[in-house]
Structure 1
Amino acid sequence: MSVKVDVQLDCKGLSCPMPIVRTKKAMDQLEPGQVIEVQATDPGSLADIQSWAKNVGHQYLGTKQEGDLLKHYLRKAGNYVMKERKYPRMIQNEELIQKLNSDKNIYILDVREPAEFAFGHIPGACSIPLVDLENRIAEVPKDRTVYVICRTGTRSDMAAQLLTGHGFENIINVVPGMSVWTGPVEQEN
């Protein structure tokens, strides 16, 4: 699995809570959506990093272990918080899971960032990050129903609006999205 990171942070040899302290300072320097790789050797850092990210609102993407080295991946929280969704056609996660079981010709467009996609996505989903969608819109089929998914339904709502504005007719926003997805998931190798 290859994860594109914006910053690498060396916390090897430090005991908790020092990896958290250093990660917090490094996150303050990142732009929303950027990914940091925190390299640590303290086994306790796994639970600590996950808990800290959840408590402060950043996204814990996952951890890769290479021998004694733990590489934790976090994505800085975005500033695109939206209170209500504007795109009217939605489907709940559970309904999409049922469709996946009965229809193998489903087109799923995942508009999360590449690192989010790498750590877990619906098998067969196409990855086009929201920031790239307008430039890659020709890759999305107009002749199929397109189920758009992100982490929480916010970016997918914006993507659904964008696609509809470009003449797409069969667009459905999947809510609440991958943050609570219980269906099949695969990771990039």
Structure 2
Amino acid sequence: MTAELPHVDQEIDARGLNCPLPILRTKKALARLDSGQVLAVRTTDPHAGRDFQAFCQQTGNALLAQRMHDDGAQTHYVQRR
């Protein structure tokens, strides 16, 4: 994962949702993107970091970066395979 944030093609807000809803919304959004496009997902679930790592490892999508915000939210940058 890189320190520089990637260009984002689509964003979804999954704040306030707990597992597995952020991953399910991510899967649905990725299905609408072209290969190589990047999805940014904002979450507040404290376990989302590990969930996104496992999801990307299992699906072959690339987890480009994960950013923690001051308000406790995280943004996960997923590139469609």
Name segments (4+ residues, structure 1) moved above 6 Å. none
User: Normalization by structure 2: what TM-score?
Assistant: 0.90
| Structure 1 unmatched ranges of 5 or more | 78-189
CA distance in 1, matches of 2:64, 2:5: 13
| Structure 2 unmatched ranges of 5 or more | none
Report deviation, 1:43: 1.2
Equivalent position of 1:42 in the other structure? 45
1:22 to 2:25 alignment: yes
Deviations 1:135-166 (A, max 9, x none): xxxxxxxxxxxxxxxxxxxxxxxxxxxxxxxx
Equivalent position of 2:67 in the other structure? 64
**Larger-gyration structure (1/2):** 1
**Which structure shows the higher strand fraction?**
2
Equivalent position of 1:6 in the other structure? 9
Report deviation, 1:2: 4.3
CA distance in 2, matches of 1:70, 1:21: 17
User: Residue type of the partner of 2:35?
Assistant: P
Matched residues, number: 77
Q: Which structure is richer in relative contact order (CA contacts within 8 A, separation 6 or more)? A: 2
> What does 1:20-169 correspond to in 2, within 5 Å?
20-67=23-70, 68-77=72-81
> Identity of aligned pairs, percent?
36
CA distance in 2, matches of 1:45, 1:2: 18
Distance 1:60 1:20, change over 3 A: same
Report deviation, 1:24: 0.3
* Two-structure CA RMSD over aligned residues (Å): 0.9
User: Residue type of the partner of 2:40?
Assistant: E
